Chain A
């Protein structure tokens, strides 16, 4: 990796290559800090199947109880914007997330729905912003700007 250390774009390409897989599953924790520094935590599990650029992903909240079961299904397409639907167990129905709404905040976080789509390296310009250690592991800090 040291060979790529000075090239932010190559770091991103390598990261994308290494994450290529037929399927993926992980569990995540979402912490939202509001203006009064109050922290709310939600947990989710993420499932992905299919190859990069043409995959299907499912993000399902698992905790706390009041949001458990709410899920976001994403069909990524290589040539156009993804299709996204939300499932809401309490009313037993799905809801399509319109393209026009993708830039809205993802459930009160600083992310948007758009951020959950798979992205191609060529869609962004990258800059190496520095190196840091996170949880004991050395990391590169990259700045990515959409073209």
Chain B
């Protein structure tokens, strides 16, 4: 502690800027980690809170994916021994049109039995309108709302509220106001209760329910009722506790948690190299100080502990700042993730309460400190090994050990051999990850040697362009590769990460556009929702006949899509008229024979799988799969596999006739409309609106609009990738600034000598600038090389273990062309301060330095 105060603190005080820059990597890494996790937890917490508030005393919930089920299931559930009360539920998220209020969650319940499960906690229950269930039931426009929502929107009993329903915009009447507690707090307080049968009609459910909530008789075990229900209803129904629904949501939002982990791990990993670089140079600079300490009796262990303690303290300070920054950005991130989940999955909720979890803060601090200690380990070991006699001799510190280069090269070749071996073996199972790490460590170990070679290769060009300054800059890099190897490694990793992420984004875009061109070719899409991902709104099948009757319409293909559970995940079931679709959208099979695939599926004798689902679940053409339906398991062989990006969890395509037979549901989410040649899509759109829009809620998209919509969602999805790229760029720039600041301080004597022998300030400045640009160039070259390898692994990991989506390997030259000016420009900007510092200092002090 005394040494920290007397020695380390004095050093930090003299180099505050450098110390701050050193910590930046850890700060950024920890901030991303805390920010993303806190935001993710807030979104999950909000969803769980909504589930809990709505659940009341519900012990089990019966559902059948997003397809809903017939009303008769309610009677079957109520007839099970041990069921005390079972009530039907419909949930719909609707637009209010109220300024600043966004969506309202409509909870449709059976007002007769529901009070046995949920307490409505009415604000003024003695009021006639509230305490008159007959009026509430008799009038399908009846709503109960929370008092806070009522106050926010100046609503009271008998106020009118316009909501968007399947029959167009409808006026509803507030016939009850709940206290702001329990149920009324669900969905951020933006919840309204109405009668379930009225909700069926208003929100296009036909005679189906979304869910049944139930409670068991006191003394009866929930597990036994669960078993009875599962046996009575069959595999097409999910019986789960309300908390399980929260876990399902958690698993979906887990994708973002994984993304956050990758971002923060990379930031920390890169930050580790920056810290390593700074500590390595600090050890070199403080050799004489270490020599004095050793001469005064300090042991090697004490010196090692001193430097490790410095690392730990630096890590603790950086992590603390990172935690604060992370908490500060978490609210914005929570809004972003919540919005994205709403757009991509139709799961919308508001994260009102964002608070950091103490365990998360503890983990973040630990990660930051441990990273910093790891980064400081080698410099601390080197410091402890310094010979006190040599350390006290001026000038000797400039000589650098070359012996360890051999060990590095041997290690690098070993890692390369492992990576190549894994690649040749096709990288099955964990070998993919071993190969990935092998290539990464190979590159890291080779950084000093490769950096040196590239610097030597650059020297003639630099000399030709700037005879004096170019030569001096190149020589500086060649003579002190260890000074720059840390930052070059950090830069290389950052750029490789950018190439990898940019490559995945580019490959995804091109694949999605190709899929859009082949599969999404109708002229118009008539949808029951404006988001396309919410499947609970649907048209009656008769709307299709109305659309067919519109002048200019050639063909209308109804599509019913809904998520259903399949082998442990929620996948998208798409029911279409396969024969009709095949005539107009000829999506080729990537597995199986295309013609046979469509014929079998159209006859109801097989299913078509999206390739991501086939890959993730290991399903091949010809395999028989079991799809749970309300009428039991539907067993069909896989007729073929096609490229499909309808859903990230995967899609199963079946013929509509099979769906109607097994799900007893002929409703439609989207009509794919093909027009006759030469007909204007805008005119037909208006004609459909005129004919069908008056009595139905509908949204009509042209082909251009649907493409723009899908690409916008793709953009939003990659928003986090862009955040990762931004973090990588920031760290890369920080690394350059840090290294140059250190480098200039380290070379004050050398630069002083140059000035003393006649170099003018302009030449010194240019030397520093060129050196900085050369560091950027070395980092770019190595980063582009490593990025090419990393892109292969990221695509493979993404295909095999994350999304199952097959993406073509396409090197992102667009990203490369952006990175070159960005990194070199950043390098030049980074050099401005240190260059001024190099020429502004006192010549005498510079010559006296060290």
Cross-chain contact B140 with A91 (CB below 8 angstroms): yes
**In the docked arrangement, what's the CA distance between A32 and B127, Å?**
12
> CB-defined interface of B60-91 with A at 8 Å, one 1/0 digit per residue?
00000000000000110010000111100000
Q: Determine the chain B residues whose CB is within 8 A of the CB of A93 once the complex forms.
A: 197, 201
Q: Which of B131, B133, B139 contacts A90 (CB 8 A)?
A: B139
The answer to whether the Cβ of B450 comes within 8 Å of any Cβ in the partner chain is: no
Cross-chain contact A67 with B140 (CB below 8 angstroms): no
Q: Determine the chain A residues whose CB is within 8 A of the CB of B126 once the complex forms.
A: 34-36, 38
A38-B128, A100-B83 are known contacts; what are 12 more A-B pairs with Cβ within 8 Å? A40-B128, A40-B132, A61-B138, A66-B138, A66-B139, A88-B140, A95-B110, A98-B78, A100-B84, A101-B112, A104-B115, A108-B132
How many residues of B sit at the interface, in one of the four size bands? Answer: 20 to 34
The contact sample of 29 A-B pairs, CB cut-off 8 A, is: A34-B127, A34-B128, A35-B126, A36-B126, A38-B126, A40-B132, A61-B138, A66-B138, A69-B138, A70-B134, A70-B138, A86-B137, A88-B138, A88-B140, A88-B197, A90-B138, A90-B140, A91-B140, A91-B201, A98-B113, A100-B78, A100-B83, A100-B113, A100-B116, A101-B110, A104-B112, A104-B116, A107-B133, A108-B133
Residue of B nearest to A109 (CB): B134
Residue of A nearest to B115 (CB): A104
Cross-chain contact B112 with A97 (CB below 8 angstroms): yes
Q: Determine the chain B residues whose CB is within 8 A of the CB of A66 once the complex forms.
A: 135, 138-139
The answer to whether the Cβ of B324 comes within 8 Å of any Cβ in the partner chain is: no
Q: Which of B86, B115, B137 contacts A100 (CB 8 A)?
A: B86
The answer to whether the Cβ of B789 comes within 8 Å of any Cβ in the partner chain is: no
The answer to whether the Cβ of B846 comes within 8 Å of any Cβ in the partner chain is: no
> CB-defined interface of A83-94 with B at 8 Å, one 1/0 digit per residue?
000101111010
Cross-chain contact A91 with B198 (CB below 8 angstroms): yes
Name A's B-contacting residues (CB within 8 A). Answer: 32, 34-36, 38, 40, 42, 61, 66-67, 69-70, 86, 88-91, 93, 95-101, 104-105, 107-108, 113
Cross-chain contact B78 with A67 (CB below 8 angstroms): no
What is the minimal beta-carbon distance from A41 to any residue of chain B, in angstroms?
11
**In the docked arrangement, what's the CA distance between A27 and B140, Å?**
26
Cross-chain contact B134 with A42 (CB below 8 angstroms): yes
Q: Determine the chain A residues whose CB is within 8 A of the CB of B112 once the complex forms.
A: 97-98, 101, 104, 113
What is the minimal beta-carbon distance from B695 to any residue of chain A, in angstroms?
15
Q: Determine the chain B residues whose CB is within 8 A of the CB of A100 once the complex forms.
A: 78, 83-86, 113, 116
**In the docked arrangement, what's the CA distance between A108 and B126, Å?**
11
With A34-B131, A88-B197, A98-B75 as contacts: A67 and B138 at CB distance below 8 Å: yes
**In the docked arrangement, what's the CA distance between A70 and B113, Å?**
18
Residue of A nearest to B214 (CB): A100
What is the minimal beta-carbon distance from A68 to any residue of chain B, in angstroms?
8
**In the docked arrangement, what's the CA distance between A126 and B488, Å?**
97
What is the minimal beta-carbon distance from B363 to any residue of chain A, in angstroms?
48
Which B100-116 residues have a C-beta within 8 angstroms of A? 110, 112-113, 115-116
**In the docked arrangement, what's the CA distance between A93 and B196, Å?**
12
Report the 4 A-B pairs with minimum CB-CB distance, sorted nearest first: A35-B126, A107-B134, A101-B113, A67-B138
**In the docked arrangement, what's the CA distance between A42 and B140, Å?**
19
**In the docked arrangement, what's the CA distance between A34 and B85, Å?**
27
Q: Determine the chain B residues whose CB is within 8 A of the CB of A70 once the complex forms.
A: 134, 137-138
What is the minimal beta-carbon distance from A42 to any residue of chain B, in angstroms?
7
**In the docked arrangement, what's the CA distance between A60 and B531, Å?**
43
Q: Determine the chain A residues whose CB is within 8 A of the CB of B74 once the complex forms.
A: 98
Interface centre among B116, B128, B134, B201 (most CB of A within 10 A): B134
What is the minimal beta-carbon distance from A46 to any residue of chain B, in angstroms?
16
**In the docked arrangement, what's the CA distance between A44 and B137, Å?**
16
**In the docked arrangement, what's the CA distance between A120 and B21, Å?**
89
**In the docked arrangement, what's the CA distance between A69 and B139, Å?**
11
**In the docked arrangement, what's the CA distance between A61 and B74, Å?**
27
What is the minimal beta-carbon distance from A59 to any residue of chain B, in angstroms?
12
**In the docked arrangement, what's the CA distance between A38 and B140, Å?**
24
What is the minimal beta-carbon distance from A10 to any residue of chain B, in angstroms?
37
Residue of A nearest to B113 (CB): A101
With A38-B126, A96-B75 as contacts: A61 and B131 at CB distance below 8 Å: no
Q: Determine the chain B residues whose CB is within 8 A of the CB of A96 once the complex forms.
A: 75
Q: Determine the chain B residues whose CB is within 8 A of the CB of A104 once the complex forms.
A: 112-113, 115-116
Q: Determine the chain B residues whose CB is within 8 A of the CB of A108 once the complex forms.
A: 131-134
Q: Determine the chain B residues whose CB is within 8 A of the CB of A61 once the complex forms.
A: 134, 138
Cross-chain contact A107 with B201 (CB below 8 angstroms): no
**In the docked arrangement, what's the CA distance between A108 and B129, Å?**
11
**In the docked arrangement, what's the CA distance between A90 and B172, Å?**
14
**In the docked arrangement, what's the CA distance between A61 and B135, Å?**
11
Q: Which of A34, A67, A95, A97 contacts B197 (CB 8 A)?
A: A95
Which B114-131 residues have a C-beta within 8 angstroms of A? 115-116, 125-128, 131
**In the docked arrangement, what's the CA distance between A49 and B84, Å?**
33
What is the minimal beta-carbon distance from A85 to any residue of chain B, in angstroms?
12
With A42-B134, A67-B135, A67-B138 as contacts: A91 and B128 at CB distance below 8 Å: no
